[in-house]
Structure 1
Amino acid sequence: MIDSLVSFVIGMSGGHAALGIVLFTLAVRLLLLPLGIRQARSARVRERLAPRMRELRKRFGRDPERLARETSALYAKEGSSPFAGILPGLAQLPFVWLMFRVATHPTALAGHDLFGAPLGQQVAAVAAHYGLVSVPFSVFALVLVLMAVVAWLSSRTVRASLTEDQPEFMRKAAPLLPFGSLLAAAVLPLAAGLYLLVSTAWTAGERAALATRPL
């Protein structure tokens, strides 16, 4: 099944596996765009309801069940939900899993590379086989550097969107989440890193574009 999928994607991209991964990623993100718009809308609703949520916590902080009911009712009036923002991330999980299966398949990406860097190898294997001063390692390093830049920009955006009424743990942990993709790319094959780079870059651009548009 994996070999058939890879053959189809590569065939649609003219025999270039790296281009096929990029096109596959863009197709997935375009498919999930409605959920991204919904996530942006829910973020604006959360910001707008922040003062009222603070009031509810003061009134019902010692009654978690009542607080949960009042919170759900408050969001329902806005046509949203406290959990609406997590849908895009959950929707991506099957595609991330599929790309992981492709990237770690023993034969699917055999013989395919990105400017000389094997798509099916991890950065440690590339360094051991080609050396630290080589084109394949430089390609992998460039992907990681670009991911670090995207993660830093995304972290700033996330930090700016957090409100004071949110739990302190969330306000500390949420800005670090974008760096999770960078850590994953450092241990996964280049194919998975390329997918994560394009996907996270899309996310950053999508947030920036939707932040200035009426929803």
Structure 2
Amino acid sequence: MDNLKKYLLGLGASKVGYADVDGLASEFIDLPNGISLVLKLPKRAMHLIEDEDYEDYWKCFHAKVAELSEIALEGEKFIKNLGYDAFALTMTRNECDMKKLLSTLPYKTIATKSGLGWIGRSALFVTPEYGSAVVLGAILTDMPLEFGSPITDSQCDDCENCQKACPVEAINPQKWNDRLNREDIIDIDACFEYIMDQYKAGLGCTKCMSECRLTQEYLKRE
């Protein structure tokens, strides 16, 4: 294992992958290589969803986002100390358009290009180990990296759990591949409207994540 990956995993990242993102990061900084960071959500978070304890769930979720941001920032320092340029793509640096539910440079793009997982029917990122129960982060750099093999097609097989669980039927039958637009697999307007209503009521909508077959397998695993 290379020293950078070993360092990031040692800080607490669950998965680390490398991708060619040349040209995708120009809005931030002209750095051609992406480091995808995946941090699994604790099983407790999924049980909080089952109990509809969204207040504690969101506290847990945001704590994990903050933890991953710190890992990214420490990774940035590590790479710079090696003599390369680096830019931790934290939430505050990668502004999310809430109406589009989309970051300026989607973490999912770097993660799929790194070969760490794929996009599910729900448009959430899916890993074979943890399903959709993850948070994502990234670092951009000019440090030479050995890229993973990009995943360009869904590996969800015939599973329709998330589609059936969606309370507003926003998820289309079409499975993801990297030649499609996001609108081909999900009605983002319907999704956004429902999510906003839920937030205003102090609730949430995470059924597509918690009902994912691979998320369920993660919860059952010792």
* TM-score bracket for the superposition, by shorter chain length: 0.3 to 0.5
Bigger radius of gyration, 1 or 2? 1
Q: Which has the higher helix share?
A: 1
TM-score by length of 1: 0.33
TM-score by length of 2: 0.32
